[in-house]
């Protein structure tokens, strides 16, 4: 949970505050858990939302992203990607694109779920994910072999 | 389109995990304790009662406010009830004065009967045939039927209870709605309030009739039915507030 919060916020202090806010909500509203998902998934969604609230600039950073990557082919290279370098690259992404990438690729949320969490359209979620991947590939390209 | 996507997925699976600061859970536990500490005294905060003359002032204001008078007209939902009441009144008023015959199956007690009922000694052989609303004829092939009547006496306390159906709670509802409570504007609340007004009109009409014929059990029964319906509606109104 903390890792998710940190990866979304990109800040240790914000991650701690988000986790704290999230668990306060969990303890206060545990009675309203309707078992439509697992308890873990329910708590994680609350943590994600709390982390997103800390990154309140996500919408402005999303609108600043160009969306002309539609026909671009992304190639992740033939050699393994170093996880620590990937982590550093993720943290260099703009906040909005980073949140979408973490939620989609790391946490496994669907674009519909991401759109609801971030209050954006599914199309925006998809374009932000593609933009994030494009930027990651650029950041990782010095070590990539093709 | 992505090529070599498995390389990205492999790196994602190897991303590092992070641990929260050591004191974070203590902080959360401390906040929960604080909330729980605050919860009990919040529930035990003192309750204050208004000055004794407030309700008198309120009642005086209500009486002086013409807009608080009940609305005219009958809502469709209770037209049937008002109709039943009026029909019962009409039937009662125009009843021919004839002593009814007590059915053989109804036992009577001295408190209910002005005279004891003397029926045939073989009630299982008696068939009753209703000829109209007021008379029943006991038919026995081999013997002459014997007629009897009874007068049902209504308990005075019951009548008084029906007559004293004032509603201070409804006055409170009206007064609070004058303060523009949001709930008063909800359609369901308005509908309930209109139903209550209709029932009040029916109640008043029936009570006036009962003032002249206070010993009629049918009218008293109708009045009790209306009282119960009013109470239910009033309880719903109070619950919504």
User: What ipTM does this complex have?
Assistant: 0.72
Burial B222-231 (b: 16+ CB within 10 A, else e): bbebbbebbe
B18 and A86 in contact by Cβ < 8 A? no
Contact residues, chain A, for B21 at CB < 8 Å: 12, 16
Tell me the per-residue pLDDT of A82-97, one tens digit each, with 9 for 90 and over: 888 888 899 899 888 8
Tell me the per-residue pLDDT of B103-125, one tens digit each, with 9 for 90 and over: 444 444 444 444 444 344 444 44
* For chain A, the helix, strand and coil percentages under 3-state DSSP, each to the nearest 5: 70, 0, 30
CA distance B231 to B166: 11
Tell me the per-residue pLDDT of B191-204, one tens digit each, with 9 for 90 and over: 888 888 888 888 77
Domain ranges of chain B: 54-95+153-240, 101-149
Which of A74, A82, A145 to mutate against chain B (most B CBs within 10 Å)?
A: A74
Cβ atoms within 10 Å of A90's Cβ, excluding its own = 22
Summarize the confidence of residues B77-98 as an average pLDDT. Answer: 64
Contact status of A138 with chain B (Cβ, < 8 Å):
no
Tell me the per-residue pLDDT of A8-64, one tens digit each, with 9 for 90 and over: 888 888 888 888 888 888 877 887 787 777 888 888 889 998 998 888 654 545 654
Return the structure tokens found at B91: 């039937």
pLDDT for B54 beyond 90: no
Contact residues, chain B, for A78 at CB < 8 Å: 4, 7
- In which residue ranges of chain A is CATH 1.10.10.10 found? 58-146
What fold characterizes domain A58-146? Arc Repressor Mutant, subunit A (1.10.10)
A16 and B20 in contact by Cβ < 8 A? yes
B7 and A3 in contact by Cβ < 8 A? no
Q: Which of A75-84, B28-37, B156-165, B174-183 has the lowest mean pLDDT?
A: B156-165
Residue A103 confidence class, pLDDT cut points 50, 70, 90: very high
């Amino acid at each position: 949970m903390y890792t998710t919060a940190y990866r979304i916020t990109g800040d240790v202090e914000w991650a701690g505050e988000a986790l704290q806010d999230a668990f306060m909500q969990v303890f206060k509203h545990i009675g309203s858990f309707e078992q439509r998902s697992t308890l873990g998934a329910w708590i994680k969604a609350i943590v994600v939302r709390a982390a997103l609230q800390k990154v309140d600039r996500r919408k402005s950073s999303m609108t600043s992203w160009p969306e002309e990557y539609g026909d671009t082919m992304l190639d992740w290279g033939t050699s393994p990607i170093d996880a620590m370098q990937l982590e550093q690259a993720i943290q260099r992404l703009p906040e909005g694109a980073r949140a979408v990438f973490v939620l989609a690729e790391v946490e496994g949320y669907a674009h519909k779920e991401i759109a609801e969490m971030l209050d954006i359209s599914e199309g925006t979620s998809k374009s932000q994910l593609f933009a994030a991947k494009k930027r990651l590939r650029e950041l990782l390209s010095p070590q990539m072999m093709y | 389109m992505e090529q070599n996507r498995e390389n990205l997925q492999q790196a994602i699976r190897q991303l590092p995990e992070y641990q929260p600061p050591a004191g974070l859970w203590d902080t959360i536990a401390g906040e929960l304790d604080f909330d729980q500490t605050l919860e009990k005294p919040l529930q035990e905060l003192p309750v204050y009662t208004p000055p004794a003359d407030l309700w008198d002032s309120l009642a005086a204001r209500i009486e002086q406010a013409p807009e608080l008078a009940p609305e005219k007209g009958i809502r469709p939902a209770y037209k049937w009830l008002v109709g039943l009441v009026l029909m019962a009144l009409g039937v009662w008023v125009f009843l021919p004065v004839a002593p009814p015959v007590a059915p053989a199956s109804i036992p009577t007690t001295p408190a209910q009967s002005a005279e004891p009922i003397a029926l045939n000694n073989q009630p299982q052989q008696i068939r009753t045939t209703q000829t109209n609303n007021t008379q029943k004829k006991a038919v026995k092939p081999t013997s002459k039927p014997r007629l009897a009547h009874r007068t049902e006496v209504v308990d005075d306390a019951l009548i008084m209870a029906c007559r004293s159906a004032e509603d201070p709670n409804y006055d409170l509802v009206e007064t609070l709605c004058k303060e523009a409570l949001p709930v008063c504007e909800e359609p369901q609340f308005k509908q309930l309030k209109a139903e209550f007004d209709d029932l009040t009109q029916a109640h008043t009409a029936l009570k006036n009739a009962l003032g002249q014929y206070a010993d009629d059990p049918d009218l008293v029964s109708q009045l009790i039915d209306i009282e119960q319906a009013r109470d239910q509606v009033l309880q719903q109104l109070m619950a919504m507030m």
